[in-house]
């Protein structure tokens, strides 16, 4: 078998309403059994899917039906065609400033229409694939995949066949359309200005009927082991969460912290209250002012203790450097509005403990969510030892009790491996 992959050159810039089939037909010479692989950008342009949008994020929202994952500004979403991809395919490259290009509304319908037009103009038996660039789970790098197909089966089912050793194939279903898309991109490329390629030598794959399109490539939710993955994702985030004491100078994205706070405030709390407040120290001046005031307070307190000379005080207060070196600080605070007022000390102390536990649950949510955003963190208890000083430095209400401080930033080094910790040592069964 001889296989050729040929770029189709000479296709002009595509405008809305262009007869794309005619332009492709004129640009090349085609044979029966050719598979034409067409970049979705020119299909979208011909179909008028160019949108003037100053806010690309709003365009992504409009094209998305489900958020799958988010890391900083990068969103992996499911679009209305069921494709799971970055930014719903909304593309600001190879288009004029101030505009974005959306994917074809129905890529299979686009492939069918383009195939019919090309076969009419060339008199050849052809197949058409419409492709776009996707990232892939578990692997770096991008590749083209089929998002629309006409005239060939997107999948080739090998189950039930035997291999060269006589073994029966049990699970092998080949994504033929995606293999062709990736092969064609070797001659199309991302910056070559060649939006169409011909794959020649696989005429046996070309069918008389348009076929099912790419729908068979989209894994049904019932078969998707990673569609939600909530328990797996949670366990992974909790496992990866470490106390990070060394950070890079890279600024922290305030939006990521706010998303982490949104996760934090889902923690359980007593009496239907919301006993948490999170003070975000985004100003370097504010961080320095707070930490200097805390340092002065610690020094005053330690000097009153027997045996604490200046060298020992310096060693003790140096532990706070993790806060001073971090590019971002969060001060979680406990508020006990809604707490029941008990006359006896035992019940009053238990009531306070209930609220304190709720604050700890919220901080744990915050730390895990920050890990999911790609940030390291260190929860340091220091503000609890000088609450009045912290309230004064940050101009906080009297009822806000600081519950430590969380240093946030990109870890300066990879965390050291740690042995897996099982549950049995911490369980008592009665």
pLDDT at 229 over 60: no
- Say whether both 238 and 215 belong to one domain: no
8 class by beta-carbon count within 10 Å (0-12 exposed, 13-18 middle, 19+ buried): buried
| Cβ proximity of 14 and 181 under 8 Å | no
> Does residue 269 share a domain with residue 189?
no
More confidently predicted of 138 and 325 = 325
User: Which pLDDT band holds residue 95 (cuts at 50, 70, 90)?
Assistant: confident
Residue that finishes a domain, picked among 207, 223, 239: 223
From the number of C-beta atoms within 10 Å of its C-beta (0-12, 13-18, 19+), residue 310 rates as exposed
pLDDT of residue 378: 94
Q: Which two tokens stand for residue 62?
A: 């409009």
The whole-number pLDDT of residue 128 equals 98
- Report the pLDDT value the prediction gives residue 374, as an integer from 0 to 100: 86
Query: Would residue 8 count as lying in a domain?
Result: yes
Residues 205 and 311 in one domain: no
Tokens representing residue 338 in the block: 């809604």
Q: Which of 196, 223, 250 is the last residue of a domain?
A: 223
Task: Give a yes or no: residue 85 inside a domain.
Answer: no
User: pLDDT tens digit string along 67-94?
Assistant: 887 777 888 889 999 999 999 999 877 7
The pLDDT of 317-336, averaged and rounded, is: 92
Same domain, 168 and 312: no
Residue 70 forms part of a structural domain: no
Q: Reply yes or no on whether the pLDDT at 182 is more than 90.
A: yes
Beta-sheet pairing, 196-200 with 401-402: unpaired
Q: Is the pLDDT of residue 275 over 90?
A: yes
Q: Highest mean pLDDT: which of 54-63, 168-177, 229-238, 287-296? A: 287-296
For residue 215, give both structure tokens. 């729908």
Q: Is the pLDDT of residue 172 over 80?
A: no
What mean pLDDT comes out for the span 328-352? Answer: 94
Residue identified by tokens 């959306």 is 102
**Per residue in 24-47, pLDDT tens?**
999 999 999 999 999 999 999 999
Residue 416 has pLDDT above 90, yes or no: no
User: Is residue 164 predicted with pLDDT exceeding 80?
Assistant: no
pLDDT at 228 over 60: no
As for how many domains the chain has, the answer is: 2
Encoded tokens for 11? 């296709």
The closest of 374, 382, 380 to 409, measured between CA atoms, is 374
Domain end call among 174, 201, 223 = 223
**pLDDT over 90 (residue 401):** yes
Which is more confidently placed, 91 or 96? 91
Indicate whether 116 pLDDT > 70: yes
Residues of the domain holding 317? 230-426
Decide which of 247 and 70 is more confident: 247
- Asked if residue 395 and residue 249 are part of one domain, the reply reads yes
> What would the mean pLDDT of 265-291 be, rounded to a whole number?
96
Q: Residue 231 above 70 pLDDT?
A: no
Same structural domain, 219 and 237: no
Query: Do 28 and 141 belong together in one domain?
Result: yes
Output the domain CATH number for residue 11: 3.30.1330.100
Q: What percent of the chain has pLDDT over 90?
A: 67
Pairing relation of β-strands 35-39 and 127-136?
A: parallel
For the segment 152-173, the average pLDDT, to the nearest whole number, is 77
Give the pLDDT confidence of 381-394 residue by residue, as tens digits: 999 999 999 999 99
Q: Hey, what's the torsion of the CAs at 49, 52, 55, 57, to 10 degrees?
A: 0
Q: How far apart (Å, rounded) are the C-alpha atoms in residues 123 and 54? A: 44
330 and 358 together in one domain = yes
State the helix-helix crossing angle for 345-372 and 230-240, rounded to 10 degrees.
Answer: 100
pLDDT tier for residue 255 given thresholds of 50, 70 and 90: very high
CA distance 103 to 123: 29
Q: 256 and 167, same structural domain?
A: no
Report the chain's mean pLDDT, rounded to a whole number. 90
Contact 90, 100 (CB under 8 A): yes
| pLDDT at position 318 | 83
Q: What span, in angstroms and rounded, lies between the C-alpha atoms of 200 and 26? A: 18
Which residue would you say has higher pLDDT here, 46 or 226? Answer: 46
pLDDT level of residue 171 (50, 70, 90 thresholds): low
Kindly report which listed range (42-51, 86-95, 109-118) carries the lowest average pLDDT score: 86-95
pTM, to two decimals = 0.71
| CA-based end-to-end distance of the chain | 70
Label residue 233 by pLDDT band (50, 70, 90): low
Extract the tokens encoding 418. Answer: 């740690």
Q: Please, which residues have CB within 8 angstroms of residue 108's CB and are 6 or more apart in sequence?
A: 148, 149, 150, 213, 214, 215
């Amino acid at each position: 078998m001889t296989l050729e992959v040929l770029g189709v050159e000479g296709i002009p810039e595509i405008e809305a309403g262009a007869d794309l089939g005619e332009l492709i037909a004129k640009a090349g010479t085609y044979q029966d059994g050719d598979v034409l692989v067409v970049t979705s950008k020119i299909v979208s342009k011909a179909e008028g899917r160019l949108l003037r949008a100053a806010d690309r994020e709003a365009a992504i929202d409009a094209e998305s039906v489900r958020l799958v994952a988010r890391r900083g500004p990068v969103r992996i979403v499911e679009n209305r065609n069921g494709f799971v991809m970055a930014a719903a395919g909304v593309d600001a490259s190879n288009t004029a400033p101030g505009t974005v290009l959306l994917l074809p509304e129905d890529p299979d319908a686009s492939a069918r229409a383009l195939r019919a037009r090309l076969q009419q103009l060339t008199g050849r038996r052809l197949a058409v694939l419409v492709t776009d660039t996707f990232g892939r789970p578990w692997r770096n790098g991008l590749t083209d995949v089929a998002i629309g197909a006409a005239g060939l089966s997107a999948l080739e089912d090998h189950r039930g066949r035997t291999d060269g050793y006589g073994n029966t194939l049990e699970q092998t279903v080949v994504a033929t359309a995606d293999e062709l898309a990736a092969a064609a991109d070797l001659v199309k490329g991302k910056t070559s200005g060649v939006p169409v390629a011909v794959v020649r030598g696989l005429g046996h794959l070309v069918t008389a009927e348009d076929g099912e399109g790419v729908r068979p490539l989209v894994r049904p939710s019932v078969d998707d082991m990673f569609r939600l993955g909530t328990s797996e994702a949670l366990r992974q985030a909790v496992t990866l969460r470490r106390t990070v004491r060394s950070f890079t100078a890279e600024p922290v994205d305030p939006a990521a912290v706010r998303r982490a706070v949104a996760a934090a405030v889902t923690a359980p709390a007593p009496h239907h209250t919301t006993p948490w407040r999170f003070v975000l120290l985004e100003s370097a001046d504010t961080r320095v002012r707070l930490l200097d005031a805390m340092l002065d307070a610690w020094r005053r307190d330690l000097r009153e203790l027997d045996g604490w000379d200046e060298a020992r005080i310096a060693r003790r207060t140096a532990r706070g450097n993790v806060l001073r070196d971090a590019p971002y600080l969060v001060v979680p605070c406990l508020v006990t509005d809604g707490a029941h007022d008990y006359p006896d000390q035992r019940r009053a102390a238990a009531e306070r403990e209930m609220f304190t536990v709720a604050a700890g649950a919220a901080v744990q949510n915050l730390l895990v969510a920050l890990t999911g955003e790609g940030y390291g963190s260190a929860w340091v208890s220091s503000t609890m030892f000088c609450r009045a000083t912290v309230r004064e430095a940050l101009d906080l209400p009297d009822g806000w009790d600081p519950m430590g401080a969380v240093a946030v930033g990109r870890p300066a080094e990879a965390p050291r491996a740690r042995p897996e910790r099982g549950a049995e040592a911490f369980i008592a069964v009665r």
